[in-house]
């Protein structure tokens, strides 16, 4: 397999992990990004071995991949923030309910 084909294969693999991550987020399930991180590491290793001319040929594909990773990061961050807000609201409601139910005149 040529060096360029290997990079393209790895980029496709990374996109598959991004797609799986988006699907998990859509159904509000946890997202494990460790496999995506491993593939990005492999891409980096492969690029380091190639001549500059070859790596420049992959520039557009890599920019698109980085954009997709950025979008996934934003979605994960948004879901994390929303989940934190929900938990905070639940905690506040529980505290208010327990304070309301507390009878200071109990013996």
Residue-wise pLDDT tens digits, 47-88? 998 888 888 888 999 999 999 999 999 999 988 888 877 777
Residue 81 backbone dihedrals phi, psi, to 5 degrees: -65, -45
**Residue 84 or residue 96, greater confidence:** 84
- Reported pTM: 0.74
Q: What is the pLDDT of residue 101?
A: 62
Query: pLDDT averaged over the chain?
Result: 86
Q: How far is CA 76 from CA 23, 24, 29, in A?
A: 12, 10, 11
Q: Residue 107 above 60 pLDDT?
A: no
Q: Residue 98 above 80 pLDDT?
A: no
Q: Which of 39, 29, 38, 36 is nearest to 71 (CA)?
A: 36
Q: Residue 30 above 70 pLDDT?
A: yes
> In which band, very low, low, confident or very high, does the pLDDT at 18 lie, cut at 50, 70 and 90?
very high
Q: What is the pLDDT of residue 36?
A: 96
Phi-psi region of 82 (alpha: psi -120 to 50; beta: other; left: phi over 0): alpha
């Amino acid at each position: 397999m040529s060096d360029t084909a290997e990079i393209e294969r790895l980029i496709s693999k990374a996109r598959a992990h991004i797609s799986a991550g988006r699907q998990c987020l859509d159904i509000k399930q946890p997202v494990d990004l460790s496999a995506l991180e491993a593939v990005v590491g492999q891409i980096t290793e492969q690029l380091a071995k190639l001549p500059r001319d070859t790596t420049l040929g992959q520039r557009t594909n890599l920019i698109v991949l980085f954009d997709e990773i950025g979008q996934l990061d934003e979605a994960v961050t948004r879901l994390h923030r929303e989940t934190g807000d929900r938990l905070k609201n639940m905690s506040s409601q529980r505290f208010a309910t327990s304070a309301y139910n507390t009878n200071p005149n109990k013996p």
